[in-house]
Amino acid sequence: MSSTIPNSQKTYRVALRGDAILTSPRWNKGTAFTERERKAFGLTGRLPHRVNTIDEQCARAYDQLNSRTEPIRKNSFLQSMKDQNWVLYYQLVQRHLRELIPIIYTPTEADAIAQYSHLFRRSEGLYLTFPHQESMEEDFLEQTRGREIDLIVCSDAEAILGIGDQGVGGIGISAAKSVIYTLVGGIDPSRSLSVTLDVGTDNESLLKDNLYVGWPHNRIRDEEYDKFIDKFIQLVRKYYPHSLLHFEDFGVSNAQRLLELYRDQHAVFNDDVQGTGAVTLAAVMSAIGVTKSKLADQRIIIYGAGSAGLGIAYQLRDALVLRDSVSREEANKVFYLIDRFGLIKDSLGPDKIRPSLREFVRPDAEWDGVSTNEKGEVGLLEVVKKVKPTILIGCSTHAGGFTEEVVKEMAKGCERPIIMPLSNPSRLVEIDPAKANEWSGGKALLATGSPFPPAKMPNGKEYIIAECNNALIYPGLGARAVLSQSRSLTDSMILAGAQRLASLSPALKDPDDSLLPDFADAPEVNFEVAVAVVEQAIDEGSSGVKWGKEEARERARAMQWLPVYVEYEYDENGERLLFFKMSEITPPPLAPKVEQPTGIPIPVAAAIPPKQEEPEFVSETLYIQNLNEKIKISVLKASLRGLFKSYGEVLDVVAHDNLRMRGQAFVSFASADIAQKALKEVKGFPLYSKPMQISFARTRSDAVVRRLDAANFELHKKRREDNKKTTRYTNPLKRKFRDKRMASEMDGANAAPAPKRPNVQMPDEYLPPNKILFLQNLPESVSKDQLMALFSQYPNLHEVRLIPTKKDIAFVEYMDEGSATVAKDALHNYKLDGENKIKITFARK
């Protein structure tokens, strides 16, 4: 969490100035910039006079929010605020958490997602589209260039928030989930990524909508779908192996299947399956704590066997196995699952029983003599009469599914029936909890999936309805992933989090109180969940950290991102970028077409003449460029040896501090196969904050020849020395010094003076890399806009400066040396006007 700004840090060095810092939501403070900061960052004339506190800003923003009456307009206002100022946005929502969560998340976010194409303003994350899958890696790297990512939330949007298939609008739920992770889990928003996996949509209204911004095609399924999803997940594993990958609102046929497929490969989490299951498990554990019973003694009906219902069954079943030492087969017998075909039993046949439900199929013999409908299906009331359940859970979106007869029948055979209508949004809930309380005679222990007001008890007291909100647990699980760095999220970790959540239940002190903590306490609740899960990860040996669990609480507190302003100091070498520090990933190829002004044509990827590359030469030695020149040679060599030795035997590392070799090195291996593997795995890896540029060396090193061809070593050495003598004076600087030395050594009468070259400077071609490029041989008609369009194809462009009195030269500045190097290598010698080649070198400092 190196990019998180802790409260204890007094200042932060930032290189953005003027409009650049005001338009960066990470760095912008608006009217809260101090007078000193306004002067330092060129903001005095860009802001009104008064300096506001965060309290004053929140008061103003809250007034502005309340001037909007419709929830969807409030949602749009808060989205706009998030795009402008992260600290103010998160501070405001935290201050009014219970009030605003329904605005930024369910149920209002569902309406925003349904209208996504009509409300579209700007990108909210990464859009990966099926017809563009050949560029998926390029697109992924373009969006994540140089960022440290801890959390990735992705959705294919097939089953959004109770409103079904929403196509590309799924980016909205990914972004909303990421916000919750930050609000109550303390995840740094700069280290999370929201993704939509656009594989089409079967929503006919979207397909017919001319304003729909997604791929207007029916959903891709089966093998093509699986390959597309797998390609994305392998990119996550390759570039961010310690991140948490959160699956959100996948369809019922894919949610559990993909979770099981990838959970042993990466830390993956499906909120609909595991999150709903975990928070429901916590509520159930709290309820049986009130009834003084055991989980193994329960009879559980789950009404709705989709992703959520099945996830609840899995979590409760796994808790029985892990916590109560019940066998898996015996644990399965506790559950009675009901879907649109009635009770899941043998006679339904394979066409109506998905593979994921097979463990919970009831034998037909149990139901002899039980009333069925004309299709032989057993309904909820008949199951309640037969089973006499202690727990009834609803996730069917069947509004009113828990009838008065069902509730009263359940209350007959149970002292404290546990009733949990969890369907979202509230209009689809199986029963109003007030009615459940009334029809059960005030006996029911209640939890719902949406917020509801307290219910009146027969004794006149108010019964607090627990909100079974996934956000009471999944942000803590996400924070755990960041903190423990384990590459999987095990069932025992989720159980540990659910147990810690249950232990915080107010009902354990007062049976008439809520089964779960109030959502307003979600930040502290998730902190406790994170600590519990990290401790479990350390106990079971799956953590990737070396510290003990006694440090978990302190480290969890230290890693939390908090929405507070810190002091900034202007530093031209400080932070420039919105999200991250200098690029730490090998830059992808040129971006596709850019908008261009009139005049000289601006190149796009296809327009840049490709270099005629020779077939790649493979050797035992790697040539490495773009190394950090500030690192001592001895330290650099040791670091390179340590990095590469994991791929095989390293014979030698060569690096020098002279002008020609600065920032470069050679690493020789015992075989070309080792070198090839190392190049593939390490290319672009950031060493001392600079991504290494690696290729095969064109000649064999002394160490390689000595090892592999010792008999010809002396001949190799002689050839190398001869070649060195032949090429020694091709460098203009060395040629100058040779001429001067020869002239001084000759007799005065016979001396041939060295060529007169007044004030000889280092040739431009040999200037050391820096972030400013010097352009020569430009067409006199070139404009600043044209150069901006040309060089903005490469990330992190800062400024283009023309020289009014000399129109054939210009300077282009990037935010870091690595970005400037990429642009220079790509555009040097490009024919901007079709005739003259641009000469690009690094500028003299």
The answer for residues whose C-beta is within 8 angstroms of residue 264's C-beta and 6 or more apart is 488
Specify whether the CB–CB gap between 492 and 536 falls below 8 A: yes
β-bridge mates for residue 198, sequence order? 129
Catalytic position from the list 89, 90, 105, 463: 105
Strands 418-421 and 300-303: unpaired
Phi-psi region at 233: left, alpha or beta (left = phi > 0; alpha = psi -120 to 50): alpha
- Options 177, 345, 443, 824, the catalytic residue: 177
Q: Which amino acid would we find at residue 54?
A: I
**How many whole angstroms separate alpha carbon 105 and alpha carbon 161?**
10
Q: Residue 337: left (phi > 0), alpha (psi -120 to 50), or beta?
A: beta
Write phi, then psi, for 731 (nearest 5 degrees).
Answer: -75, 125
How far, in whole angstroms, is CA 580 from its chain's centroid?
Answer: 13
Active site residue 386: no
Distances (CA, A) of 161 to 171, 245, 259, 453: 13, 19, 19, 22
DSSP 815: S
CA distances from 596 to 238, 601, 610, 838 (A): 35, 8, 21, 19
Residue corresponding to tokens 């040779």: 738
* Separation between Cα atoms, residue 96 and residue 103, nearest integer Å: 11
Q: Are strands 621-625 and 300-303 parallel, antiparallel or unpaired?
A: unpaired
For 310-377, give the DSSP string.
HHHHHHHHHHHHHHH---HHHHHTTEEEEETTEE-BGGG-TTTS-GGGGGGPBPGGGGTT----TTS-
Six-digit token pair at 284?
């159930």
Q: Is 105 a catalytic residue?
A: yes
| Burial of residue 373, with CB atoms counted within 10 A of its CB: 0-12 exposed, 13-18 middle, 19 or more buried | exposed
Burial class (CB within 10 angstroms; exposed 0-12, middle 13-18, buried 19+) of 121: exposed
| Catalytically active residues, by annotation | 105, 177
